[in-house]
Amino acid sequence: MIEDSELEKDKESNGLNSSEQDKNDLILDFTTSSSISRNTPKILLIYIPIFWFSGLLDCIYCYELFRKLPPITEDWIPWIGILFFLPIAVFSMLYIFILGCFFFGKLFLILINLIHKPKEGVFLAEKGNTDFEFWCLRTELKKLILWLLRNCPLPWADSIGLRWFGTKMDFSSHLQDSWCDVEFLKLGRKVMIGQGAVVMSSMVVGKYLIIKKVILDDYTVVGGMACVSPGTITGKDSLLGAISSTIYSQVLEPGWIYFGIPCIKLKENKLASVSEITKRDVDEEKEIYVNSEINNDEKKKDKLKQNKK
């Protein structure tokens, strides 16, 4: 999954001597959690203040809800109303906690990025390397927030979380229970990522942490259980098949279907580039069929005018 020439250039740009590296240094370690476990578990302490402040919001909500109620021995009627709406109150507390984690997590992320700004490149994945340690910290922080939002019943909550934490995308794209890195990721219009797929702008390969921007252009489709490696750029209307993977810094040409591990060109994506348009003229009882490129409104209009003449 790693292209040697591209990797060597990025290593050299970050001050790493390629000639001193052994092949064993590049043993694939694609499990992000295992690479983070090399760092100190103290990194998880960042969860404590986030949970603490979010819990305080729930405490304030409960206090305001119950503070004006009279003692149950004097007047029990208001308590009946509270018990009746108790499920709604519990549901509200859950969302207050999630929104609190969402807000305070963003504040901590801003603070972390002010201390050490994220950057692309190849870094040593070991204790003492500042880029690696701050990458672990950012990853663990975002993992908590995105986990809470992905388990939220609202279907667009994870899209809000991705946009809030740095992904450049709009709400026309869909992530069907997939995992996407948040930073250095750009999605075009109507991108669909299949269930179980993984889109990684960062990964650990042996002793190295690789971070490079991933760009998925308009109408890109990533099949289920597929793997998109750092630096991947897909063209418009390109498709990566299920259970396939890209290599480091691979470019997928527009309008092509790719498949395999690593993926190669399979065939042209004709279904995405051609669509039949039907126009009926009721007054003159005419019916016109036109083949034209999809997602190009100007060409469609020109074709229709030509056929009408």
119 within 8 A of 12, measured Cβ to Cβ: no
CA-CA distance, 10 to 122, in Å (whole number)?
6
Could you give phi then psi for residue 164, rounded to 5 degrees?
-65, -35
Quick one: tokens of 247? 């290599």
Output the pLDDT for position 13. 63
Output the pLDDT for position 90. 85
Mean pLDDT comparison of 13-27, 38-52, 108-122, highest-scoring range: 108-122
From the CB of residue 50, how many other CB atoms can be counted at a distance below 10 Å?
Answer: 20
Closest residue by Cα to residue 197 from 162, 240, 140: 240
CA-CA distance, 213 to 263, in Å (whole number)?
19
CA-CA distance, 109 to 94, in Å (whole number)?
22
* CB neighbour list of residue 261: distance below 8 Å, 6 or more residues apart: 243, 244, 245
CA-CA distance, 2 to 227, in Å (whole number)?
13
Inter-axis angle of helices 157-164 and 130-150, nearest 10: 160
Strand partners, 276: 291
Output the pLDDT for position 17. 54
Output the pLDDT for position 63. 84
Per-residue pLDDT tens for 135-178?
888 888 888 888 888 777 776 777 888 888 888 888 888 787 78
Q: pTM value?
A: 0.72
Could you give phi then psi for residue 219, rounded to 5 degrees?
65, 20
CATH 2.160.10.10 is held by the domain 4-268: yes
Closest residue by Cα to residue 132 from 41, 44, 39, 213: 39
Please state the domain extents for the chain. 4-268, 276-308
Output the pLDDT for position 145. 83
Count, in order, helices (H) and strands (E) of the chain: 9, 19
- Please report, rounded to a whole number, the percentage of residues in the chain having pLDDT higher than 70: 70
Cis geometry, peptide bond prior to residue 49 (ω within 30 degrees of 0): no
For the segment 262-288, the average pLDDT, to the nearest whole number, is 65
90 within 8 A of 65, measured Cβ to Cβ: no
